[in-house]
Structure 1
Amino acid sequence: MKSSYRFANLCGTVYQQGNVVFSGDGNSLFSPVGNRLSVFHLVKNASTTLPFETRKPIARVAISPANENLALVADIDGRALLVNIKHRAVLAHMNFKLPLRDAQFSPDGKYLAVTHGAQIQVWRTPSMLVREFAPFVLHRTYVGHADDVLSITWAPSGLFFVSTSKDMTARLFSLDPIEGFKPHTLTGHRDAVLRAFFGDKDTIYTVSRDGACLTWKPKEDVQADGDVAVGFARWGVASRNYFMRANTQVVCTDFHAGTSRLVVGFSTGVFSLYDMPDFQEVHSLSISQEKITSVAINRSGEWLAFGAQHLGQLLVWEWASESYILKQQGHFYDMNTVAYAQDGQYAVTGGDDGKVKLWNTTSGFSTVTFSDHTAPVSAVEFAKQGTVLFSASLDGTVRAYDLVRYRNFRTFTSPNPVQFVSLAVEPSGEVVCAGSSDSFDIYMWSVQTGKLLEILSGHEAPVSALSFSPSGSGLLASTSWDRTVRLWEVFTRSGWTESMSLNAEGLAMSFRPDGLEICVASLDGMLVFFDAKSNEQTGVIDCRRDIAGGRKMDDKISRRNNAAGTAFTSVCYSADGSCILAGGNANYVCLYDVRERVLLKRWTLSLNLALDGTQDRLDSRHMTEAGNIGLINDLSDEDDLTLNERMDKSLPGVQRGDLSKRSTRPMARSKCVRFSPTGRSWAAASTSGLLIYSLDEDTLFDPTDLDIELTPQTVRAASLQGNGLVALVGALRLGEKELLAEVYERIKVSEIPLVVRQLPRTYIVSVLELIAARMAPASASPHLEFHLTWLSTMFSVFGTEIRLHSSTTYAPVLRSVQMALHELRGNVKRITDANTASMLYVWDSLPRAVEEI
C-alpha cells in the first residue's frame, strides 16, 4: 500500500504544441501537453490527463466522429497510438514513418486519412472490439501534390476529401475509384494553402498563409446526382477575399459548417470570426501576445478554443456573450517548488517566471495567480493554521498572501539586499524564516507586525534548506553548502545552537511529522538521518545508484560515471513518518522505508525522448562531425515560421540570435517533491509540470453488476418483486428513460433510505439527474413529496462526497437540481397565490350572498 501510488493528473501545464480538439458533444477539450494528452471537461470544471505517453511531444490528435472514445495521438516523428479514451487504454501502435501534419477520421469513422509527405494515405480504422495482429490496413495512397500536404478535410458524405499543400494548391480526391472521375486541382493562391472546407455541396473555401480566402463553386450544372455531384463538378473561383492585415500571417483556421462561420488565428495573437460566404467580420479580438498555434470550434459553433505554444496558453471563448469559458496558463519557465495545503485540496507552485500559482488538485485548474515577485520564486509554504501562503524569491523579498481575499498583505525584506533560496514557517504561523544565498544568514520576521526579529548567523555558505519542528517547540533546523546541519532554539533568550557535520554539501532537509528525526540530502547522493533530541546521526542511505539519471545529449561519459554528480535536491516524509520521498536532478522519484533503510519503489517521471536524461544509452547514429544532431538547429521547416520568428533581431556579438549556435534541450528532473498531508497522494514539480500520484482509484467496482441479467424484462421483474436497488441499478445501466422512470416511481417511500444507503457511488450523478428530470414540469409527475424525500436522503447519505466535489464532478447535476427546485418553488407559489386570492374573494362575497338569501 505504501508504494502503490499511480499517476493521477498533471497540473501546471495546459498546452505545449499540436492541435486542440473538441469532443463530439462539445463539452470537453483535448489538449496535448508534451507527450501526454489532457482532457478539459468544460461543463464539469475539471481536467484529467490520460496515463499513456508517446515517445516524443504530441503533434496531432484526431477524434473519430462515429465513436467519441476512439482517438489517434501522433508524436512529432509520426509514431502514433490508437487510444480508447473512456477506458484510458492504448489499443494499437503505428509508425507512419513521417511526421503527420494532419490526420482526420472519415464521417462514418471507418477510414483514417493521414498526410505522408507529399502523399496522402487512407487507412481502415481498427476495431475497438476485436484484437488484431496488424490492426492498421492501408486502403489507398493518393499522389499529385508537389510539396508537403498540410491538411485533409472530408466531404460530409465521406466519398471525397480535399487536401491542401505547400505547393499552393488544393486537390479533390475520391475515397474509392469512381468511373469517369479524375482528381481536381484548385489553383489560384500565392502561398501555402493551410486548410480547405466544404461549405455545402456546391461550395468549397480555401485559406492560405498570406491571408487570402477563395470561394469555389461549380461553373456549370452537374450531370451527376446525389453525393457524387461534388466530384464531377468543374470548380472555379467565385470570389476572392483578403483579411487585410499588414505584416501578419494566417497560422491556423477552422470552419463550422452548420453556421457557416470561419475563424482565423493570426501570428499577432489576434483571431477573427467571419460569416461565409458574405465574408462579413462578426468578431475580432486579441487574446495573446504571441501567435495562435491552434484553433477549434465545438459542435454547436458557440465555443472557440485556442492554443498558444510560446506562452503555453489555452483559451475557450464564447463569442456570442464575449466571455471566457476557460483561460489557463502554466508557468512560462521551470516550476521550482510546490507545497500542499493542510486539507490536501490545494497545491501551490512557484516558478522561474516569478509567479505563484494556486492549483485545485481535484479539478486540476489554477484558481489564482500572484505576480508580485520580480525574480524566480525559490520556495513556497502554507501556514499550518489559517489561509495564509508564504513565498520566497531571488528578488530579496518574502511575501505573505491572504487566500480569502487573494492579495499580498505583507512583504518581508532584509536590511541589505539578498537572495532568498529557502523558507520555513513556524507551526503557529506567527514567525517566518528565510535563508539567503549570498550573506549566508537566516532572517526571521514576525508575521503580525512584519518586523525583522533576528538575524541568525553561523553558516559559511548558502543556506539551502530550512525547516521548523512540527511539534511546535520552536526548534529550527538548517542545512548549508558548508557541510553542516544546525539546530536553533529561536524562542529562547539563550539562542542555543547545535551543529552537526556532513560528508558533503547539504541540499535539502525535512522533519519527521513527530519532530523527533531529521533527514538531510547531501551532494554525495546520501540521505543522512539525525535524532533531533540527542543530535546524533542515526542512519545513512546510499542513493547514488537510485538517483542516477540518463545520458544527456552532450555527455561525453557513460551513465555509470555520470551518476557520481547526481543527488537528491528535495526530500519529504510521509504523513505517518514511515517513508521518505526524494527527488532531484534526474528522471526518477524514489520512496524509501525509513526503518529498514531500503528502496521501496522508484517512479519514472517522463518517457519523453525530447527531454535530456530519459535515455540510458545514446544512439551513435545521431553523432555527426558538428556534434549530436539533436542539438543542431534544424531550419528545414522554416516555412512554418512567421516573418518575425525568422528574423534575426540580435545585436552584434549576441549569441542568442546566432543561427549557428547549438540549441539546448530541457532536462527531465524533479525540483521539488511533497507528500499530501492526508497521505493519499504526492506531487512532484518537474520539467513536464506538476505531476500528481495518488492512491485513489478513478473507477469504483460495482458489486450489483453481477446480480441481474440486463434486459428490460428482468429489470421489471425485479422491480415487481420489491428488489428496488437491483432494478434501479439495472435500469440505470440500460439507460432507457421510460424504464428508468417506471422503476423509480415504483420504489416505496419507506424503502428510499435503504436503497440510497446501498447505492454505489458510481451512480450518484445518474440518480440526481433522474430526480431533477422527474421534478421538472415536463415530466408531469404529481409525486412532489416523493421527489423531495429522494433528494433529502441523497444529500444526507452522500453529502460529504457531493460537497467535496461540488465544483467539479457534481457541478452540472447540482445546477440541474437547483433549477428544478426553483421552478417547483415558483409553481407552488403561483398555485398558493391563486388559491389565496380565490379564498379571499369567496370570503368577501359571503356576506352579500347571505343578505341576498
Structure 2
Amino acid sequence: MRSDFKFSNLLGTVYRQGNVIFSKDGTVLLSPVGNRVSVFDLVKNQSFTFEYEHRKNVSCIALNPQGTLLLSVDEDGRAILVNFRAKTVLHHFNFKEPVSDLQFSPDGKTFALACGRFIQIWRTPDVAEDRQFAPFVRQRVHAGHFAQVTSLSWSPDSRFLLSSSKDLTARIWSLDSNEQDLAATTFAGHRDYVVGAFFSSDQEQIYTISKDGALFQWGYTSKQEVEEGEEPDLSTYSWRIVKKNYFYASQAKVKRVTFHAKSNVLVVGFTNGEFRLYEVPDFTLIQQLSMGQNAINAVAVNDTGEWLAFGSSRLGQLLVYEWQSESYILKQQGHFDATNAVAYSPDGSRVVTASDDGKIKIWDVVSGFCLVTFQEHAAAVTGLAFAKKGQVLFSASLDGTVRAWDLIRYRNFRTFTAAERIQFNCLAADPSGEVVCAGSLDSFAIHVWSVQTGQLVETLDGHEGPVSCLSFSKENGVLASSSWDKTIRIWSIFGRSQQVEPLEVFADVLAISVRPDGGEVAVSTLDGNVLFFDIYEGKQVNAIDGKKDILSGRHLEDRFTSKNSARSKYFTSIDYSFDGLSLVAGGNNNSICLYDIPNGVLLKRFVVSRNMSLNGTLQMLNSKKMTEAGSLDLIDRDGENSDLEDRIDNSLPGSNRGGDLSTRRVRPEVRVTSLKFSPTSNAFAAGSTEGILIYSVDETILFDPFDLDIDITPQAVVEALNENEYLNSLVMAFRLNEEYLIKRVYESIPVKEINLVSGGLPIVYVARMLRFIGEFSVESQHLEFNLIWVKAVLSAHGRYITSHKHEFASSLRAVQRFLGHIAKDVVSASSDNKYAYWFLTSTDGSMGTGFEDDDDADDALGVKQNLESDDDVIMENNSSDDDEEGWIGFSDAKANILPVTQEKDDDKDEDDDEGVI
C-alpha cells in the first residue's frame, strides 16, 4: 500500500465568491472556491484545483493574456503569483488592504488593482529581465476617487484605464505622464454607485453603468461646430453624455456587468438572479434569462464573445451559457449545506455525496462535474451505500425512508420504511444487493429489508441503546453494528441463528469499518482510540491511540489553547484500504491520518485546510486581537457596510451543527464528516467543510525506472530491436520509461509476433503495457493493430488480472475508454458506409438514368465502365503489394469490394426484387 497521497482535486464546490475569468482562447474557466482556485476545461470536460492555499477566501483572480501567470488575492490583500501552466507558486506578496478588482493590461506588461479608493499600477514580472529580488514593482498610484473603487477596465491599446467607484463617478487614467492631463476626466451624473465603465472597440465611446440601472454613453465631442476644411480646436473637445438608457428592472439592482467590445454586447447581472444581454449603442435587448432568485456575483465573457459565465455565491452556482444557440455549456451547483456521507462507486469512477439539504449528488472523478442530483428525500441524508456491481445506490435519511436508486435510468425504484416513523442515521448494504440494513437513534433495533420485494424481512434486536454505526463486509454476509451501549455486535445475516455475543468497549463508538475480507472490524471510540477486533475469535487484536496525532485547532471563542482542548480528540469516520493493511481516519478537526495497521504507526497526516476564515484551523490565536471580552474577530461589523443588502444578516446561530445555540456562531468549523478509499486503491475522498477533497497517488512521474541496469540504454534498445529481439527490447524500453522509445518498439513488432511477445511479457509489466496501449491508442490510427495487442495481452494474462483486479483497475479503465471510443466511431462509420452503398447501388440504372437524353446517358455509362475496369486493375495490384508488405485488414476489405463492381450488372434484377431504394 503506497502512502504518497497528494491533494489532486476538489469536488462539491464550484464557486464561492469573487470573480470568474476565461482564458485567452476562451475554453478554460477559472473560479475561486474558498481559499483555492479551480480550473474547468470546457472542451475536454475536465477540471482540477490548484494545490496551493490562501490564508483566507479568495476575493479576486486575474490571468495574463499570454496564459502563463495567474494572480490571486484573498480577502486581506495577500497575493500569490502562480505559473499557470506548471501549477507552481512563484511568489507571495501582501498588498496590505483588501483588493476589490484586479485586471491585466491587454498587452500583459502591467496590471492594475483597486485597493480602497486608490488605484495601483504594477509591472508584470518578465522572464526576459534579469533576476530580481522583488518580482513586483509598482509604477504608479492614482488617488482621485473619494470612495471605494468598484471596477477597473483597460483600453484595447493598453494606454488608458477606466475606474468606477462608489462616489457615483467614473474616471479615466493614462499610463503616460504626458497624456495624464489630457486624459484626466471625471464622468459624473449617475445617482447611484457606478458598477462598471468600459471602452468601445475603437475607443471613441465610453459606457458607464450604475447600480440603479442607468447606462450612459459618452463621446469625445466639441462644444463648437467645426466647418469643413477647418482644423479642430482640441481645447474645445471633452467627454460628454451622448445618450442615456435605463434597464427598468423594477426592484432589482445591477450587481455585476461586463462588456465585450468586439461584438458590442453588454451583459448585466441583477440582484434577483436575472441576467440580460444588450447590443450597444442601439441598446437592443437580445436575451433575458434568470439563473435563480439569488444575486449574480460574477459575470464574465470569453474572448470570442460566444460563452458567458455567471456565478452566484449564495447557492454556489456556476453557469456557462452560449447565448447564440441558447444552450448551457456548464451548469453546476454544490451542496447548500454540510456534507454527511461520501461513497465511491465500485469502479472508482464516481463519487456520491449526501448532504443536510436532502440532496444526493453524483460526481465524475475525472471531469469533476456533477452528473445528476436526486432530490426525493425530504430531510437530511445520513448514509450511502453501493451494491457490488455499482448499478444500485442506497441512501438513508432522517425523513424515515431508505431509498434505492437505479444509476442507469437515474430514478428511485424502491422506498423502504419501518413499521413506525423513525429517523435513520446509518446504513449498510450487502455487496450482493439482496438486503439493505439501517439503524436509528429512535429505536434499538436494526431493520433489514429485501431489495427485490421492498418488504421488511427482519428486525435484529440485541442492542440496549440507539444504533450508531453499521458496516457490511465486502466478501461475506457479515454485518457489524455498534451502539451507545458501548458494544459491538457481529451479525450473520444469512445464517439461521441471530444470537450473537457482544464485544465490549470502554467508550462510545463513533465509527465502524469491516476489513474487506470480513476477518476484522475496526472501531473509533470517543476516547480517541481505534480498536481492532478479530471477528472469528471475538477478541481485540490491535489498538491505535490517535489523540497525539490529531491537530485540534483553536476556536475564536476558546479561552484555552489547542493543546489543552479535548473538543475533537477523536475520529468520527474511518475506512480500510483495499488490502486491509492501512486505515484512514478523520473527525471534527483539521487532520486526516493514514495508519499502518500491523505496526500501529502513523504513515502520513494531511492538513484539511489552512483557511483562517474557518474555526479550528489555527493552533494559536493572534494575541493583538485578544481582549477581556474575547477575540476582536467575533465582533460583527456587517452593520457598517455601505450597501443595504450587505447589512442584512440572514445567518442563523449554531451554524457548526451541534453547538450551543445560545451563542451566535456564524463562522463555519473545519471538520471531516466522511472518508472513503477508492476501490482502485490509488485515491481516497474526504467530505469536509470546504468540499470533497480527493487525495490520490501521483502517477504522472516522468522518470520512473524499474530494475534499471547500466547496460540498458536507448542504443541497446535499438540494437535489440534491429536484431528482432522484440520481447527484450520492449522490456528494456519499459525499464527506461521513455515514451518515444516505447512507441518505437511497440509499432515495430510484427503482427505475427504479438501473441508470442504478449505471452512472454513479465507480469510486472502487464499493467504498464495495458495503460500504455489505452493512452496511445486514443491518438493512434492503427486501430486493428492496437486491438490485436489488447486481445493478446488479455488472453495471455487474463487469469492473473482477474484475481488481482485492484492492481489493474486504472490500466483496464484506460483500455475500456479506448474500446468505447473505437466502438462509437466504428458504428458511425459503418452506418455511413451502409447508406452510401445503398445510394450507389440505387443509381446503377435500375431506377432511371437521371439524364435528359440518351446520348448523355451513354457517355456517362461509358465513363463508368472505364472507371470500373481501371479500378479492378488498381485494386488487384494494390492487394498483391499489401500482402507482400504485411499490411493488416485491407486485403480482405478490397476482396469484398471487387465482386460488387464486377457483378453489379448481373445482380441488378436481384437488387430490384430485394427492394433497394
CA deviation profile, 1:387-436 (whole Å, cap 9, x unmatched): 10000111111110001110010011111111111111112211111010
Which residue is equivalent to 1:570? 573
Which residue is equivalent to 1:552? 555
Which residue is equivalent to 2:375? 371
2:595 matched to 1:592?
yes
- Which piece of structure 1 moves more, 682-691 or 481-490? 481-490
2:439 matched to 1:441?
no
CA 1:571–1:765: 2 relative to 1, 3 Å: closer
Q: Give how far 1:12 is off.
A: 0.7
Q: Secondary structure at the match of 2:633?
A: helix
Matches of 1:809 and 1:110 in 2, distance apart?
43
Task: Kindly report which structure 2 residues correspond to 1:281-296, keeping only aligned pairs within 5 A, or say none.
Answer: 281-296=285-300
CA deviation profile, 1:743-779 (whole Å, cap 9, x unmatched): xxx9999789899x9999899989967x8xxxxxxxx
Which residue is equivalent to 1:154? 154
Which residue is equivalent to 1:503? 506
Counterpart amino acid of residue 306 in structure 2: E
Runs of 5+ in structure 1 lacking a partner?
A: 224-228, 704-724, 726-745, 772-787, 847-853
CA deviation profile, 1:318-342 (whole Å, cap 9, x unmatched): 1111111111111100111101111
Matches of 2:146 and 2:787 in 1, distance apart?
65
CA 1:194–1:387: 2 relative to 1, 3 Å: same
Runs of 5+ in structure 2 lacking a partner?
A: 227-232, 706-728, 730-743, 759-767, 792-808, 850-856, 867-917
Q: Give how far 1:566 is off.
A: 2.2
Q: Give how far 1:547 is off.
A: 2.0
2:402 matched to 1:401?
no
Which residue is equivalent to 2:18? 18
Q: Quick check: 1:71–1:85 contact (8 Å CA) kept in 2?
A: yes
Percent same amino acid at aligned positions? 48
Which residue is equivalent to 1:629? 632
Which residue is equivalent to 2:73? 74
Matches of 1:230 and 1:102 in 2, distance apart?
33
Q: Secondary structure at the match of 1:563?
A: coil
Matches of 1:748 and 1:453 in 2, distance apart?
57
Which residue is equivalent to 2:535? 532
CA 1:535–1:293: 2 relative to 1, 3 Å: same
Q: Give how far 1:280 is off.
A: 0.8
From 834, 848, 861, give the equivalent of 1:841: 861
| TM-score, normalising length: structure 2 | 0.78
Matches of 1:49 and 1:221 in 2, distance apart?
55
CA 1:58–1:676: 2 relative to 1, 3 Å: same
Q: Give how far 1:634 is off.
A: 1.7
- Higher-Rg structure is 2
Task: Kindly report which structure 2 residues correspond to 1:600-615, keeping only aligned pairs within 5 A, or say none.
Answer: 600-615=603-618
Which residue is equivalent to 1:420? 424
Q: Quick check: 1:78–1:100 contact (8 Å CA) kept in 2?
A: yes
From 188, 193, 202, give the equivalent of 2:204: 202
Q: Secondary structure at the match of 1:841?
A: helix
From 325, 350, 355, give the equivalent of 1:321: 325
Which residue is equivalent to 2:9? 9
CA 1:667–1:579: 2 relative to 1, 3 Å: same
Matches of 2:295 and 2:120 in 1, distance apart?
30
Matches of 1:230 and 1:453 in 2, distance apart?
92
Q: Quick check: 1:632–1:663 contact (8 Å CA) kept in 2?
A: no
Tell me the C-alpha RMSD between the 2 structures.
3.8
Q: Give how far 1:271 is off.
A: 0.2
Q: Give how far 1:841 is off.
A: 2.7
Matches of 2:234 and 2:338 in 1, distance apart?
51
CA 1:240–1:694: 2 relative to 1, 3 Å: same
Matches of 1:807 and 1:195 in 2, distance apart?
50
Counterpart amino acid of residue 245 in structure 1: A
Task: Kindly report which structure 2 residues correspond to 1:22-41, keeping only aligned pairs within 5 A, or say none.
Answer: 22-41=22-41
Q: Secondary structure at the match of 2:861?
A: helix
Which residue is equivalent to 1:479? 482
Q: Give how far 1:822 is off.
A: 9.4
Which residue is equivalent to 1:673? 675
Which residue is equivalent to 1:123? 122
Q: Quick check: 2:392–2:406 contact (8 Å CA) kept in 1?
A: yes
Counterpart amino acid of residue 356 in structure 1: I
Which residue is equivalent to 2:794? none
Q: Give how far 1:138 is off.
A: 0.7
Which residue is equivalent to 2:98? 99
2:436 matched to 1:432?
yes
| TM-score, normalising length: structure 1 | 0.83
Counterpart amino acid of residue 446 in structure 1: S
- Which piece of structure 1 moves more, 449-458 or 163-172? 449-458
Matches of 2:235 and 2:113 in 1, distance apart?
20
- Which piece of structure 1 moves more, 556-565 or 239-248? 556-565
Q: Quick check: 1:181–1:232 contact (8 Å CA) kept in 2?
A: no
Q: Give how far 1:476 is off.
A: 1.7
CA deviation profile, 1:635-681 (whole Å, cap 9, x unmatched): 26633553xx6457899xxxx9xxx9845211111111111112111
CA deviation profile, 1:778-833 (whole Å, cap 9, x unmatched): xxxxxxxxxx6x35445666899899479999999999999999999999998898
CA deviation profile, 1:133-153 (whole Å, cap 9, x unmatched): 211011111111111111111
CA deviation profile, 1:138-196 (whole Å, cap 9, x unmatched): 11111111111111111111111111111111111111201553511111111111111
CA 1:767–1:196: 2 relative to 1, 3 Å: farther
Matches of 2:142 and 2:838 in 1, distance apart?
68
Q: Quick check: 2:774–2:817 contact (8 Å CA) kept in 1?
A: no
Matches of 1:663 and 1:484 in 2, distance apart?
35
Q: Quick check: 2:777–2:783 contact (8 Å CA) kept in 1?
A: no
Matches of 1:528 and 1:569 in 2, distance apart?
13
Task: Kindly report which structure 2 residues correspond to 1:338-353, keeping only aligned pairs within 5 A, or say none.
Answer: 338-353=342-357
Q: Quick check: 1:631–1:662 contact (8 Å CA) kept in 2?
A: no
